[in-house]
Amino acid sequence: MMKMRMPAVPLITVDPYFSVWSEDTLLTKKKPVHWTGKPNTVLGTVCVDGKVWRFLGASADDAMTQVSLDADAMTTTAVYEAGGIRLTAKFTSPMLVEDLYYASRPVSYLKLSYESTDGAAHTVTAKISCSEELVLNLAGEGRAWSKEEALPGLSCVRMGSGAQKVLWRSGDDVRIDWGYLYLAVCGDAEVGNEVVDDLYAVYAEKKLENEALFLFAYDDIDSMCYFGKNIPAYWKKDGKTITEAILEAAGEYDVLLEKCTAFSEKLKKDAEEKGGGKYAEMLMLAYRQVMAAHKLVVDEDGNNLYISKECFSNGCAATVDVTYPSAPMYLLYNTELLKGMLRPILKYSRTPEWVFDFAPHDAGQYPLVNGQVYGKNALKYQMPVEECGNMIILTAAICKTENDYGFAAENMDLLETWNKYLIQYGADPEDQLCTDDFAGHLAHNCNLSLKAIMGMVGFADILSHLDRAEEAGALIEKAKEYIAFVLNNAKNEDGSYRLAYDRPGSFSLKYNAVWDKLWKTNLIPDEFFKAEIKRYKEEALPYGVPLDTREKYTKSDWELWVACMTENREDFEFFTDILWNAYNTMRTRVPMTDWYFADTSEMRGFRHRTVQGGLFMKLLFD
């Protein structure tokens, strides 16, 4: 049983649009919401011997007593009691990262089952209602309509906006208002439409013969506009329709639940072995969030594209410095998805629109992937060293993981250009942004120097595997020169290293150095890591270690990356314990924020971002 008081509870988690969460661990306290916090009303009730009880959402009906709540990587389970029965509600989104089809298919489950607690027989009927908020940006923006769908063995109704303008806009705090929601239940049931809290809604109501399986699905028609062409989700690539997918999903529930449970049990075991029980709980909660902040699509050439949304940051799509921290989960489980994150950037970098000799920040604003929007190509908004380092490090990491350097070979034109940029500007970066752009521009950023160096090291590895050993050796020597520069010019009197070369006494989380540990390249001496860990522990506040000297806020991904730089299990658990405490006590009830105040645990600004894939970094270590 999960001990953490989850900051938000995942219920339906498929993609950036198809997303339903509870902002409280008591699922009857509030209406469910979209990850943005906007209402996504789903109401669940059971009628027991003529008395209606509520188990999900808010209404005038009496609430069942929730006696437990648990969550693993893909399932949330709540248990309730009322009216002489014990009801179990099991929400499962089988987003299996190792299988591209299931990672894409937009069907989520709710399994309801009950048993008598008083020894008497009971007549029980379950009802699920979904409001127009699931198919409109906001309730009342347009008009929703519905119709029943005839599916063999299922009772089904669909709902959509009357104005089907597919992929007509992009943005951050916006929701989908095209495509169709499908609500289905196995067997004979009553389906239709109704009004719930003055909202148009569809419902499915079924008598429980001890259990019932409800299905939620969403067909977005086309999922992405990719450089001017609308393209579909991966699950459609062989011509499958949404009704076929729903029927298929209904027959696969038991098998998929078993696979989801096995995945979760292994993840839990691996995480506990590497970092303890609190670490395991954070990975369990992060998994669905990371998966559901991406969309898997296929372009016209058959290439898999795994598009992230930079949630509650600015809505950018395929953002390189969001891909970078999220990468550990995909290096662990499925490098094809990580390649799918990089392909839009590689494509855009070869277009005439991109005029710079460094890597771009993003490839659009979700779901319109038509070219960079962050800063609109203005140089002051770019992150030159950051993105060059990210793209090379990630490409090298993919190739190392696969033991196949074909992906790098296909893109050597760009990688060589970006490596030259790192050599020229990486030792002592000029005034520019890094991935922590919310902190503003900074010159002489020591951590950014480390990123450039690790990018060079990664490119040297690529060269050595493409029969260019002499060039690889020369590049490693250059990287050693740059490491010596960092060590000689950034050292504080206490042995730790500065935020910037010209800021004596300062500190920052040197998360980019983790690749030296992971790859065992041994360019950075152990004394560096020991001194940094010592300083971080001294700077720690009750709920985390600040990102650097300037503010009290921190980043969850970077905290656990620097935690991996210690060989000491106790030190690693020091970081995981304070991060777990932050989520356990956080008053801001949103899907796991990665940017929060280390002194109070309050969210600073981001939520539901893919970067929580970075929490999986420790599992990549032997």
**H/E run at residue 359:** none
Assess whether pLDDT exceeds 70 at residue 415.
yes
Q: Can you give the residue ranges of every domain in the chain? A: 9-262, 303-620
Average pLDDT, whole number, for the chain? 97
Other CB atoms within 10 Å distance of the CB of residue 412: 17
- Residue 416 binned pLDDT confidence (cut-offs 50, 70, 90): very high
In this predicted model, what pLDDT tens digit does every residue of 363-373 receive, in sequence order? 999 999 999 99
Q: The tokens of 74 are what?
A: 């893909």
* DSSP 8-state symbol, 265: H
Length of the chain: 622
Q: CA 243 to CA 156: how far, in whole Å?
A: 10
Fold entry, domain 303-620: Glycosyltransferase (1.50.10)
Q: The tokens of 86 are what?
A: 């014990």
> Max CA-CA distance within the chain?
81
In this predicted model, what pLDDT tens digit does every residue of 438-478 receive, in sequence order? 888 889 999 999 999 999 999 999 999 999 999 999 999 99
In this predicted model, what pLDDT tens digit does every residue of 553-598 receive, in sequence order? 999 999 999 999 999 999 999 999 999 999 999 999 999 999 999 9
Phi, psi of 246 (to 5 degrees): -65, -45
Q: What is the pLDDT of residue 374?
A: 86
**Alpha-helix residue ranges (DSSP H) falling in 318-383:** 320-333, 335-349
Q: Are 432 and 385 in contact (CB under 8 A)?
A: yes
Q: The tokens of 463 are what?
A: 């060269």
Q: The tokens of 37 are what?
A: 């916090």
Assess whether pLDDT exceeds 80 at residue 376.
no
Q: What is the pLDDT of residue 118?
A: 97
In this predicted model, what pLDDT tens digit does every residue of 147-175 receive, in sequence order? 999 999 999 999 999 999 999 999 999 99
Phi, psi of 585 (to 5 degrees): -110, -5
Q: Please, which contacts does 64-70 make with residues 24 or more away whose CB atoms are closer than 8 Å?
A: 64/28, 66/26, 66/27, 66/28, 68/1, 69/2, 69/9, 69/25, 69/27, 70/1, 70/2
Residue recorded with tokens 């299988």: 99
Q: The tokens of 230 are what?
A: 């609308």
Mean pLDDT (whole number) for 182-201 = 97
- Residue 435 binned pLDDT confidence (cut-offs 50, 70, 90): confident
In this predicted model, what pLDDT tens digit does every residue of 76-101 receive, in sequence order? 999 999 999 999 999 999 999 999 99
Q: What is the pLDDT of residue 378?
A: 75
No. of helices (H) and no. of strands (E), the chain: 14, 23
Q: What is the pLDDT of residue 377?
A: 64
Phi, psi of 482 (to 5 degrees): -70, -35
Q: What is the pLDDT of residue 432?
A: 84
Q: Are 482 and 513 in contact (CB under 8 A)?
A: no
- Residue 437 binned pLDDT confidence (cut-offs 50, 70, 90): confident
Q: What is the pLDDT of residue 375?
A: 77
CATH for 9-262?
Answer: 2.70.98
In this predicted model, what pLDDT tens digit does every residue of 108-147 receive, in sequence order? 999 999 999 999 999 999 999 999 999 999 999 999 999 9
pLDDT > 70 fraction of the chain, expressed in percent and rounded? 100
Closest CA to 577 of 599, 565, 592, 559: 559
